[in-house]
């Protein structure tokens, strides 16, 4: 029986050669060579003036929030349906996450609900582009400008997706990405910060450098409390090679999604990742949302997942509402987030998948659904 993995990066001779070079030669005076090259590549790819590669997306978000001075008695609006990594940096700083419901098509934060959640304590809005889908950025940025609230794009899952020909992560004043091994492009572990705000560049740079001002050039002198989320030269070498192959890797993700869409056409009342005319969806993870006629509940969803995984077909649930976790206050009024996770699954989407593999996965799903 064939084993279908959930996620796996595409590694070629280019990645191996770059990493080997970093391991052999990237020390001493050369210890940041690949970090600098990768930074330049990210600036060019995202058309972003200021970029800092980081050791994780969590860390990138933590640095931005800290640079914005967010702390106790502040509130940050976040979508309820996301990975907890979009939320925990808020808690680390002592601020309060305010969970807002998502749209039932693209699963991103609902702009109509954001404005209702704003209070005098609101200091930022984090927008997540889930599974490669794209949020309604114009509406959200308009809200941010109206209330003078900073917008941060969490494009961890959407490298390569575009909104009106702009790469997500670089549309708002601040953005972050993830380069985890499951993502479309990887540095093993890693992330990056994007910033358009020249007035905060020095602040971000000081925090990112553990509280040191570059202008002082005094060894081991620290000016303020900072953080350490630096990316290593070896990780940057891998990331650089991946971004040099970005177009081909994203094309393969789109091809895999199109195979799924073709093979799932016979199933009625299901919803796949949307692609409005103004969006390029990179389809990091193909997602099925089963419509109400399927009478899905959590038990039925879990049974489907467990049975497929037992057949060596690695499928996963979509995210639980973060507000449902014990460390946060439940938000029953977020009716989409509270309902849709029971009806959604993510499908395997690694680069070695063939069209026959996709058909095999879909046939197994149909069999479990007794189609």
Same domain, 82 and 58: yes
Q: Do 207 and 250 have their domain in common?
A: no
> Do both 363 and 312 map to the same domain?
yes
* pTM, 2 dp: 0.95
Sign of the torsion angle spanned by Cα atoms 102, 104, 105, 111: negative
pLDDT the model gives residue 217:
76
In this prediction, residue 2 carries a pLDDT of 80
The CA distances from residue 260 to 2, 306, 348, in Å, are 18, 20, 10
Does one domain contain both 231 and 288?
Answer: no
Angle at CA of residue 239, ends 5 and 82, nearest 5°: 55
CATH number where 350 lies: 3.90.1150.10
pLDDT digits (tens, 9 = 90+) for 283-340: 999 999 999 999 999 999 999 999 999 999 999 999 999 999 999 999 999 999 999 9
Q: How many domains does the chain have?
A: 2
For residue range 71-103, list pLDDT tens digits in order: 999 999 999 999 999 999 999 999 999 999 999
Q: Dig out the tokens for 148 from the structure.
A: 């003078």
Residues 131 and 237 in one domain: yes
Q: What is the mean pLDDT of the chain?
A: 96
- Spatial separation of the C-alpha atoms in residues 273 and 238, rounded to whole Å: 29
Which range marks the domain in which residue 216 is found?
A: 13-244
Q: Which residues pair with 167 in a beta bridge?
A: 162
- Domain end (from 203, 223, 244): 244
Compute the Cα dihedral for 350, 353, 355, 360 and give only its sign. Answer: negative
Boundary (domain end) residue, out of 244, 261, 290:
244
Q: Please check whether residue 274 lies inside any domain of the structure.
A: yes
- 195, 223, 244 - which closes a domain: 244
Q: What is the 8-class DSSP label of residue 50? A: E
């Amino acid at each position: 029986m064939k084993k279908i993995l959930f996620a796996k990066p595409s590694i070629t001779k280019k990645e191996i050669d770059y990493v080997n070079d970093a391991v052999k030669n990237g020390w001493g005076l050369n210890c940041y060579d690949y970090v600098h090259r990768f930074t330049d590549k990210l600036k060019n790819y995202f058309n972003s003036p200021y970029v800092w590669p980081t050791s994780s997306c969590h860390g990138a978000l933590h640095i931005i929030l800290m640079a914005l001075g967010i702390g106790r008695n502040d509130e940050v609006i976040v979508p309820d349906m996301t990975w907890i990594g979009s939320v925990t940096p808020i808690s680390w700083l002592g601020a309060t996450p305010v969970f807002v419901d998502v749209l039932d098509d693209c699963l991103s934060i609902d702009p109509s609900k954001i404005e209702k959640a704003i209070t005098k304590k609101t200091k930022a809005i984090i927008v997540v582009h889930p599974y490669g889908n794209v949020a309604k950025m114009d509406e959200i940025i308009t809200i941010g400008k109206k209330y003078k609230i900073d917008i941060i794009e969490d494009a961890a899952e959407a490298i390569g997706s575009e909104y009106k020909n702009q790469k997500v992560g670089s549309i708002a004043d601040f953005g972050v990405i993830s380069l985890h091994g499951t993502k479309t492009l990887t540095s093993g572990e890693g992330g990056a910060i994007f910033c358009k705000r020249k007035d905060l560049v020095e602040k971000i740079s000081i925090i990112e450098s553990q509280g040191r001002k570059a202008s002082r050039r005094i060894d081991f002198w620290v000016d303020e409390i900072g953080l350490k989320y630096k990316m290593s030269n070896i990780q940057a070498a891998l990331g650089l090679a991946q971004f040099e192959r970005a177009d081909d890797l994203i094309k393969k993700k789109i091809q895999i999604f199109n195979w799924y869409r073709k093979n799932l056409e016979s199933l009625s009342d299901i919803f796949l990742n949307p692609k409005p005319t103004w969006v390029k969806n990179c389809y990091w993870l193909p997602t099925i949302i089963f419509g109400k006629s399927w009478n899905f509940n959590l038990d039925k969803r879990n049974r489907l997942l467990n049975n497929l995984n037992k057949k060596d077909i690695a499928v996963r649930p979509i995210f639980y509402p973060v507000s449902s976790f014990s460390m946060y206050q439940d938000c029953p009024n977020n009716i989409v987030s509270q309902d849709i996770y029971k009806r959604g699954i993510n499908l395997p989407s690694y680069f070695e998948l063939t069209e026959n593999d996709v058909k095999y996965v879909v046939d197994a799903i149909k069999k479990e659904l007794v189609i």
